[in-house]
Structures are given as structure tokens and as C-alpha cells.
């Protein structure tokens, strides 16, 4: 079993034509389920003047209305506990996860027994694509408390790996586990992977020599798909980094890197992807950046039809060199985090690309957005690398010029701090401080 290339070769290497036929078939059934079983979708489709039978081909999906986090939250508050978007009785729901609630009331994501089992089969598929095998020891360093990524450890168990359910424990305890049990694979966020490696070194542990980690799975931030960030983590740990993407509103990881690490394969037999211009709501060509819109194809507890994720990224539907045919997505940031400066869209990931590529810097950064004379501005704080005593003003000008070269505009100010002055993230890093509403 360990020698096979794919978890499910038939579905992962299906031709694009056959995959789209499968999506059409699944979506016809799914739209009918949503309309017939969900109070919300029946009213929403009626208000938009569409019926499930209006869907004949994939392009017809554009006739149907979008949903978003605000609608999801509103419907949950209107009809507690699970809202009126659900398409099953509560008795059929066996598991719920919840969003962090960082932008409002936490929203629940329900699963039937079949939903949950299929969710974990997709996790096994993504783990296998990232190189995990039954011989591996896997430490799951994600929060288990209502977090949709918590149960993903079951996908690793189903694959046959020895699994250590660590959860979100203090770094000292996690380092003890890494040293004592010598696991080979770990999953966390890019920021925490960097922080944990730095913490290990401060304790006299060399992650590359004293630990057995050879694969690091990261998610929750764009860093795993930024070459410079991935290479920095890999250099610290002497381990390969694989980026995963998940969304609590649907299910845990639904896309992940394969051995080629050139985009994240989306499980297109479960989820259909669109990329739209967030202003016009029209589709953008493959390869161009826009808002990611996802539609479930099989999840019965709560169908999500044209869910606007708020994530900005691109899609590539060409066959990958690994042989997989499912589309590859690349997430570059959050719509909420985007700044428009002098007509240019600026994302924290653009700044991260610059900072991580400069050997003169530690790689840590913080962006502050503000309004000045009714115009958006931003400043960037960076840290000098250990041993770099370059003049602060000269270094700041160098960083500013590199940012302008990358994105077309430069920050109002670059502040150079000493190594260690910026706070380190133990899980998701807060890279953007937005003061624009206070201006």
C-alpha cells in the first residue's frame, strides 16, 4: 500500500471532461436537495427566480445567488441552533465545528455521519498526496476545541500512520513530544512552525539534527505558499513544507499540496470552485487573482451554494506533473486584509514575500494601515537579522524600494527594529493592524 502514488487513483486522475460531467451530475442532485430540504435555499432561489431544474450545465451555476459569512451567521441567529440553511433534521447531525468568531458570532458547521466520513477520506487523500505513509508518526498540533481541523487527525489514522493527538499545547510540552517520540510529520501554522523552531534552538535543540520531523504541514495563513517563507521554515527544520487550505464553513482541509508543491489540489469531486472579481462578481480567467467561491457537491447537512469565502487567490485547471487532474488553487490573502493604496491592491502576503527574501532581516514583520488626508497609507515594521548592524535608515530605504518593486507602491514608512522586538505568534499571526476606521 505504501508504494502506491495516489490515495484514490481513479478519482484523482480522472480526465477533466469526466470530472466536469461528475460535477454536473452531483450538482443537479445537490441543488435539488438544497431547494427541497432547506427553508433558506428554497426562499433564496425563489427570490432570485431560479429553480434546480434551471441548472443544465456548469456555467448555469452563475444563475444562482451567492451566500456569505454574514448570511450564514444571520440564519443561525434567526433559527438557533443550526439555522435554516441546513437540509437535514438535527437528529442526523453527528458533529459540529465552529468558526473562531473573530469577526462576529461563531458560526457552526454541521456534519451528518456520511458527511463526516467523506470529510476524513479527503483528509487521508491530502495527507497521502503530501507524502504521509503508514510508516510515519504524525503529531497533530491543532486545536481540538470546536475547530474544524481538529478531527483531521482521523484522516491520518485511516491512512495508517501512528497518530499523536497533541492539540494546542504549550511549546515546551510539544517540544518534549517531538524529542521523546520522534514523530516524522507535524501539522501547524506557518507562523507557529517558525516560532517552534526558534524556541527549540533557544532550548538547545537543533530541529534539523535532534528531531525526526521530515514533513511539516501548514495551514491557516498564506505563508505555506510563499516560496521564501516555506524555504525559511525548511531551512530551520531540514524538512519539506506542504501547504493545506481549509474552511470551517465547509470542512477541514479541502485542498493541499502534492509532491510538486505548485499549488494546492482541491477535492473537486466534493467542492466546485469559481474565482470572481469581488467588485463586479463576474468570473475572472484561470490564473488571474480574484475571490474564491466554493460550492459543495455532496455535503448534505448544510449545502453551501456559491459561498463567497473572502479568500483571494487563483485557480489552475491544467493537469499537474504529479498526474492529478483536480484544480490547483493558490491563496494569496484575505479580502478583509486587502488595502487599496494609490489604486494598487496590497496584501500582507505581498509584504511577506519581500521580507522573507531579504537576508538582512529576521523575516518577522507587521503592517499598520491608516488614513491620511482621506487616502489609505501603510507602514511596515521589520526586524534586522542577528549580526546585521547595517544603518537603520539605509536598511529601511532598501526594504521600501524592494516593496515598491514587488507591488508598485511603497509604504509611508519602514521602521527597522532589533531582532526579537516584534511579538512571535504561537498560532495564527496577526500581521495587519487596521487603524483606518479610527482615522
User: Which domains does the chain show, CATH number per domain?
Assistant: 1-332 (3.40.50.12780), 339-438 (3.30.300.30)
DSSP string, 256-307: E--TT-SSEEE-TTTEEEEEE-TTT--B--TTS-EEEEEEESS--SS--SSE
Q: Are strands 375-384 and 413-417 parallel, antiparallel or unpaired?
A: parallel
pLDDT at position 101 is: 54
DSSP3 helix / strand / coil % (the chain, rounded to 5): 35, 25, 40
Number of H helices, E strands in the chain: 12, 19
pLDDT at position 2 is: 52
Q: List beta partners, residue 296.
A: 271
Residue 290 has pLDDT above 70, yes or no: yes
For 245-287, write each residue's pLDDT tens digit: 999 899 889 999 999 999 999 999 999 999 999 999 999 999 9
Query: Which of 18-22, 165-169, 272-276 is predicted with the least confidence, judged by mean pLDDT?
Result: 165-169
Q: What is the pTM of this model?
A: 0.85
pLDDT tier at 348, thresholds 50, 70, 90: confident
pLDDT at position 100 is: 63
Residue 67 has pLDDT above 80, yes or no: yes
Determine how many CB atoms are found less than 10 A away from the CB of residue 385: 14
pLDDT tier at 332, thresholds 50, 70, 90: confident
Contacts for 199 with CB less than 8 Å, ≥ 6 apart: 171, 175
For 351-405, write each residue's pLDDT tens digit: 988 999 999 999 999 999 998 876 789 999 999 999 999 999 999 999 999 999 9
pLDDT tier at 56, thresholds 50, 70, 90: very high
Residue 143's nearest CA partner among 207, 220, 84, 203 is 220
pLDDT at position 229 is: 87
**Residues 332, 337, 341, 343, CA torsion sign:** positive
pLDDT at position 284 is: 96
Residue 193 has pLDDT above 90, yes or no: yes
pLDDT at position 75 is: 95
Amino acid at each position: 500500500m505504501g508504494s502506491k502514488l495516489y490515495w484514490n487513483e481513479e478519482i484523482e486522475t480522472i480526465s477533466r471532461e469526466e470530472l466536469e460531467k461528475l460535477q454536473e451530475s452531483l450538482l443537479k442532485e445537490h441543488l435539488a436537495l438544497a431547494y427541497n430540504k432547506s427553508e433558506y435555499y428554497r426562499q433564496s432561489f425563489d427570490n432570485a427566480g431560479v429553480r434546480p431544474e434551471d441548472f443544465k450545465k456548469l456555467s448555469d451555476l452563475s444563475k444562482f445567488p451567492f451566500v456569505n459569512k454574514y448570511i450564514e451567521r444571520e440564519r443561525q441567529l434567526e433559527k438557533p441552533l443550526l439555522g435554516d440553511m441546513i437540509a437535514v433534521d438535527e437528529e442526523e447531525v453527528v458533529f459540529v465545528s465552529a468558526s473562531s468568531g473573530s469577526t462576529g458570532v461563531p458560526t457552526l458547521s454541521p456534519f451528518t455521519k456520511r458527511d463526516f466520513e467523506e470529510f476524513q477520506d479527503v483528509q487521508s487523500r491530502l495527507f497521502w498526496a503530501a507524502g504521509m505513509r503508514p510508516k510515519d508518526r504524525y503529531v497533530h498540533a491543532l486545536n481540538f476545541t470546536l475547530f474544524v481541523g481538529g478531527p483531521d487527525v482521523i484522516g491520518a489514522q485511516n491512512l495508517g500512520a501512528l497518530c499523536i493527538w497533541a492539540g494546542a499545547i504549550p511549546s515546551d510540552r510539544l517540544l518534549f513530544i517531538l524529542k521523546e517520540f520522534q514523530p516524522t510529520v507535524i501539522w501547524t501554522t506557518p507562523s507557529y512552525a517558525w516560532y517552534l523552531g526558534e524556541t527549540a534552538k533557544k532550548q538547545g535543540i537543533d530541529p534539523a539534527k535532534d528531531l525526526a520531523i521530515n514533513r511539516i504541514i501548514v495551514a491557516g495563513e498564506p505563508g505555506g505558499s510563499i516560496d521564501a517563507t516555506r524555504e525559511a521554515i525548511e531551512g530551520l527544520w531540514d524538512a519539506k513544507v506542504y501547504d493545506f487550505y481549509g474552511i470551517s464553513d465547509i470542512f477541514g482541509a479541502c485542498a493541499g499540496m502534492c509532491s510538486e508543491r505548485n499549488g494546492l489540489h482541491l477535492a473537486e469531486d466534493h467542492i466546485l470552485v469559481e474565482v470572481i472579481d469581488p467588485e463586479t462578481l463576474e468570473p475572472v480567467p484561470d490564473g488571474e487573482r480574484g475571490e474564491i467561491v466554493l460550492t459543495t457537491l455532496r455535503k448534505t447537512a448544510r449545502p453551501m451554494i456559491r459561498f463567497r469565502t473572502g479568500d483571494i487567490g487563483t485557480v489552475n485547471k491544467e493537469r499537474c506533473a504529479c498526474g492529478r487532474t483536480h484544480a490547483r488553487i493558490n491563496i494569496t490573502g484575505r479580502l478583509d486584509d486587502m488595502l487599496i493604496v494609490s489604486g494598487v491592491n496590497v496584501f500582507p502576503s505581498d509584504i511577506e514575500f519581500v521580507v522573507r527574501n531579504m537576508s538582512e532581516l529576521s523575516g518577522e514583520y507587521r503592517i499598520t494601515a491608516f488614513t491620511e488626508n482621506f487616502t489609505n497609507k501603510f507602514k511596515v515594521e521589520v526586524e534586522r537579522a542577528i549580526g546585521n548592524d547595517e544603518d537603520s535608515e539605509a536598511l529601511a530605504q532598501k526594504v521600501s524600494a524592494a516593496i515598491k518593486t514587488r507591488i508598485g507602491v511603497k509604504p509611508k514608512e519602514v521602521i527597522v527594529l532589533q531582532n526579537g522586538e516584534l511579538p512571535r505568534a504561537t498560532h495564527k499571526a496577526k500581521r495587519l493592524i487596521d487603524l483606518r476606521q479610527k482615522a
